[in-house]
Amino acid sequence: MTKIEGIVTYEHRTQKGTKLKLGRKNAYIPCHMETSLIGARLELEGRWIERKTRYFHAEKIKVLKTFTEDEKAKALIKVEKMAEKEGIKIPVPFQTEMGKEILAVLYQTGHPAIIKKVLKARKNTQKEIVHNPYTLYLKKYSDFFIAEILARRNPLLKTKEKIYPLALYILETAYKNRQESMDLKEVARMISNHLKEKITDVDVLVSIPDNARIKVDNGKAYLNWVFWCKYYVLNTLKNNPPFVADDTGVPELDKVLSYKYSAITGPAGSGKTTLIRKLKELSKDKVVMSAMTGKAARVLSKEAR
pTM: 0.69
Neighbours of 10 (CB within 10 A): 20
User: Does the pLDDT value for residue 158 go beyond 60?
Assistant: yes
Neighbours of 65 (CB within 10 A): 12
pLDDT of residue 109: 86
Sheet containing 220-223: give its strands across. Answer: 181-183, 220-223, 214-217
Q: Give me the architecture of the 2-65 domain, per CATH.
A: Beta Barrel (2.40)
pLDDT of residue 16: 81
Ranges for all domains in the chain classified under CATH 1.10.10:
160-229
35-92: per-residue pLDDT in tens? Answer: 778 888 899 999 998 766 788 999 999 988 888 888 889 999 999 999 999 899 999 9
**Cα distance from N-terminal residue to C-terminal residue, the chain:** 80
pLDDT of residue 152: 87
Neighbours of 76 (CB within 10 A): 18
User: Does the pLDDT value for residue 248 go beyond 70?
Assistant: no
Ranges for all domains in the chain classified under CATH 2.40.50.140:
2-65
pLDDT of residue 186: 96
What is the band of 289 on the pLDDT scale with cuts at 50, 70, 90?
low
Q: Give me the architecture of the 160-229 domain, per CATH.
A: Orthogonal Bundle (1.10)
User: Does the pLDDT value for residue 305 go beyond 60?
Assistant: no
